[in-house]
Copies of this chain bind each other. A is one copy, B any other.
Amino acid sequence: MENLDEQTLPAWWKDVQKALINEQMDTFRAEFLELHPYDQTQIFLAQNKNERMLIYTYLSPEEMAEILENIDLDELDPILTEMDARYASQVLGEMSTDDAVDVLNTLDQNEVASFLTIMEKEDAEDIKGLLHYEEKTAGSIMTTEFIAIEATMSIRESMLHLRKEAPDAETIYYVYVVNEDKKLVGVISLRDLIISEEDWTVADVMSDRIVSVSVGEDQEGAAKMMRDYDLLALPVVDFQQHLLGIITVDDIMDVIDEEASEDYSKLAAVSGMEKPDTSAWIAAKKRLPWLIILLFLGMLTASLIGRFEKALEQVPLLAVFIPLIAGMAGNTGTQALAVAVRGIATGESKNDGQVRILMREALTGLITGISCGVVITIVIYLWQGEFYLGMLVGLSILGSLVVATIAGSFIPILMHKLHVDPAVASGPFITSINDIISILIYFGMATIFMDLLIS
């Protein structure tokens, strides 16, 4: 699928490729299965359909599952489709439940139903249990393959249990302790298990101060918790503290990156992050809705300026400073927006802090506004010899910067409070609003002080 330079391929890649082309199944398996799943995936993705069909016959569903877990979700659909349906459902059954659920969530209802019908009953049950959690909650990214023991077991028994369960578990580095009702009562790290005496009981060693996350909690909250507490896995519980699953650190790394990318995309009005290999048509299709909206907001600005046509006819020089004033308002608004959005996202700005943030932004707007206003007044006076025009532009900048800074922080906070998707408060949207406000301030003041300007 990718253009790979033959010369730079490592030796192991060439060996695997040769075995595949010569249809030597045994050599292929010996070489290929030695590799890390990530490298296996890279080789798999570089093959044509013929070779891929061959690979499906060479690898067991379990071996194939490891490869699929490393492939981006949006590339998986054609791969699952070209597989034999029974093989595909076996592969899905062998994947970690959280990954299998992610895959199924990208397919349509009918496909999901048909896969689940063919799948082994136990796997299908596990997956069905997870499918109904809302996207981006702790429940949607957890896996049910954890190891649970009872507090009365000895360390020796626990280690035996752990060895037995290890092949299927997502992590063995934390073992969770549950009571007879399956409620979470403690946790032991493998580290603690290993350094404990064999005849102690689990209750002696376990920690009963458990950090856990509720199943409906936002995935970002779970990520924050795992970072704060430096956890490799986080237990997920329901309201009665029943242990439902665990979230592992590899999934959280993706969440951290995803959430940061999302905020980033919003700031730039790119809906969903494009990959470098997205085609121009798809990229244009993704960007156009935003651009058309902004086009009409721009028309609004234009019609607004149109109302001041008389002022423009009297002092054509006024037009010269339109982009400067609108641009400055846009820039400060974007700065304030960026700070507010990240503050909300990382949970650093709590409810009582939001008034403080707004006050802070207003003051910041005032300081930067006065500074920029004074500079521009002096520059225009020295450059054009126009004192009143300089004052007009300077005061407009001051007014625009204060309003733009407040708007840039107030709008996302308001959206967040109203539980509206803050995507509407994206960078260019705030910029357009600030364009309009700043032009109103500029031409409003120009109209009032017109006598000074034309005298």
Contacts and interface: CB of A to CB of B under 8 A. Distances in A.
A342 B439 contact: no
A253 B254 contact: no
Interface in A347-385: 348-349, 352-353, 356-357, 360-361, 363-364, 367-368, 371-372, 375-376, 379, 383
B330 A431 contact: yes
Given A194-B159, A232-B249, A372 B291 contact: yes
Contacts of A230: 38, 250
Contacts of A437: none
Nearest to A362: B280
Interface stretch (A105-113, A128-136, A332-340, A447-455): A332-340
Nearest to A379: B299
A342 B368 CA distance: 30
A25 to B, nearest CB: 21
Contacts of A35: 209
A63 to B, nearest CB: 16
Given A323-B439, A338-B268, A38 B228 contact: yes
A396 interface: no
A420 interface: no
B342 A264 contact: yes
A322 B324 contact: no
A249, A261, A291, A312: residue with the most chain B Cβ atoms closer than 10 Å: A291
A95 to B, nearest CB: 14
A328 B291 contact: yes
A7 to B, nearest CB: 13
B265 A194 contact: no
Given A166-B194, A283-B364, A322-B322, A338 B264 contact: yes
Given A159-B194, A260-B264, A264-B267, A298 B275 contact: no
A7 B398 CA distance: 42
Given A252-B253, A317-B309, A301 B323 contact: yes
Given A253-B252, A327-B435, A360-B279, A195 B288 contact: no
Contacts of A332: 287, 291
A312 B3 CA distance: 52
A263 interface: yes
Nearest to A384: B306
21 contacts: A5-B352, A70-B228, A227-B253, A227-B254, A227-B257, A249-B253, A261-B342, A269-B331, A275-B348, A284-B367, A288-B367, A288-B371, A291-B332, A299-B383, A302-B320, A302-B321, A306-B317, A312-B316, A322-B322, A322-B323, A427-B427
Nearest 5 pairs between A and B by C-beta?
A: A268-B338, A260-B260, A319-B319, A280-B363, A298-B324
Given A275-B348, A298-B324, A309-B316, 13 more contacts: A3-B352, A162-B194, A172-B191, A226-B253, A267-B267, A268-B338, A273-B339, A279-B360, A283-B360, A290-B331, A309-B317, A327-B428, A327-B432
Interface of A: 3, 5, 34-36, 38, 70, 159, 162-163, 166-167, 172-173, 190-191, 194-195, 209, 211, 226-230, 232, 249-250, 252-254, 256-257, 260-261, 263-265, 267-270, 273-281, 283-284, 287-288, 290-292, 294-295, 298-299, 301-303, 305-306, 309, 312-313, 316-324, 326-328, 330-332, 334-335, 337-339, 342-343, 348-349, 352-353, 356-357, 360-361, 363-364, 367-368, 371-372, 375-376, 379, 383, 427-428, 431-432, 435, 439
